[in-house]
Chains A and B, each alone.
Chain A
């Protein structure tokens, strides 16, 4: 690969832009939260138990990550009762969906640039 030497400091088109890694949303970058967001991204909504099964997280762990994502405005959480059983239903907010999309695109660009060509 020929390095960019135009003096601008910007990488050439076919070079990995590692600087963009600094713009990554660190809230999403945490593996457990990324797992939660990816699981919710592909469905309309799901409850706590379904997410636990999908991510392999313990209830306490999932609950703590859920709270952080909810506080960031990425998750909408609805608590209700089905009969006598409590049910917590989660879905991505439009902001959460946009943030996940942005994160995914950034990672794809960086990882593509780092591929073993």
Chain B
């Protein structure tokens, strides 16, 4: 297709799409979502959950496995820089979007601190055992449910924050993996490994689609 012909019907069609099916807010939301459709978040989240599950299984580090996800964060940033930006391009969003991100980040941190506090109290109660509430919580396998629910809520909250529905499905995957594990008598590491693997594989598929859709442009950046 020649450059001249591209400026004709194709571009006019895009503009018509803009005016008919999308307002400016939708245009901004679509651009924002595109920056998350590289599959990297999925890969790192899946790998993090998988690693936590494996660490639990091997009893190497117990709760310290949680830090695996934190340790992966710098690698995620580097991957974004090396894979996403050269293909999709660099974009900085407006103040309204940044304010929304800040507000969601605060909610996630509050949720995380709350969950950690509840988890610690539950852990100590169960550890003390006996006939009291700790013993009953132990019988209910509270840690089993808490762990999965926290991850599911985190994924759903993340999905709502960035407007990517895939993450809501991952939340559902975690709940399904947890429920199935409970019904079949599996342990926490089993559903973490299963859920993490599903998210990781899905992320790899999304990354493959992203790489096909946005090939590295020759001479990119030279305007």
Residues of A within 8 A of B (CB): 30-32, 34-35, 38-39, 41-63, 66, 77, 79, 82, 85-90, 107, 111
- Does B101 sit at the interface, judged by CB under 8 A? no
CB-based contact B27/A59 at 8 Å: no
Known: A44-B93, A46-B89. A58 touches B221 (CB 8 A): no
Looking at the assembled complex, report how far the CB atom of B191 sits from the nearest CB atom of chain A, in whole angstroms.
Answer: 38
A-B pairs with beta carbons under 8 Å apart, 23 shown? A31-B15, A38-B15, A38-B18, A42-B28, A43-B93, A44-B92, A44-B94, A45-B91, A46-B91, A47-B90, A47-B91, A48-B89, A49-B87, A50-B89, A50-B90, A53-B89, A56-B6, A56-B14, A59-B222, A61-B6, A66-B223, A82-B221, A90-B223
Number of A-B contacts (CB under 8 A): 111
Instruction: Check A35 against B222 for contact (C-beta < 8 Å).
Output: no
Determine if A49 and B31 form an interchain contact, defined as CB atoms under 8 angstroms apart.
Answer: no
B23-39 interface code vs A (CB 8 A; 1 in, 0 out): 01101100100100000
Q: B219 to A59, Cβ gap below 8 A? A: yes
Known contacts A56-B6, A61-B6; A47/B221 CB under 8 A: yes
Q: Which residues of A sit under 8 angstroms from B7, Cβ to Cβ? A: 30-32, 57, 61
A39 lies within 8 A of B89 (CB): no
